[in-house]
Amino acid sequence: MTLKCGIVGLPNVGKSTLFNALTSSIAAEAANYPFCTIEPNLGVVSVPDIRLQKLALIAGSKKIIPAYIEFVDIAGLVKGANITHVYNKIDPIDDAEIIDMELILADLESVEKR
């Protein structure tokens, strides 16, 4: 079973750094300039579960297949897709509203394509 998880946020907030930490890799370039990530980065990580071995013994499983999480490092979302996150202010509520609106618009675009 694979769970897919996208890492979204404004530019230059540490999405690629978080991706690299979660995947224990340096697959995503993490640099301090806007739009460093253009193409999504993909990473797959197995979910450690100490119960899996016991369950396999009880059930007599021949093969143990752990669960996986697929992480996707997505390019920074910005209001209007052309403004960097340099507003000379710190306003996490406004930042969250921008991300929510961009995700709503992306969902709407997906639905309209069907």
Give residue-wise pLDDT tens across range 46-104: 999 999 999 999 999 999 999 999 998 887 766 555 445 455 667 888 888 888 888 88
Structure-token pair, residue 88: 């000379």
Same-domain status, 54 and 86: no
- C-alpha distances (whole Å) from 78 to each of 2, 66, 81, 89 are 29, 36, 5, 15
Same-domain status, 69 and 90: no
Task: Write the pLDDT tens digit of every residue in 4-38.
Answer: 998 888 888 888 889 999 999 887 777 776 667 77
* pLDDT for the residue 37: 72
> Considering only CA atoms, which of 1, 33, 2, 28 is closest in space to residue 15?
28
Same-domain status, 2 and 35: yes
Split into its structural domains, the chain has a count of 2
Domain ranges, residue 94: 78-113
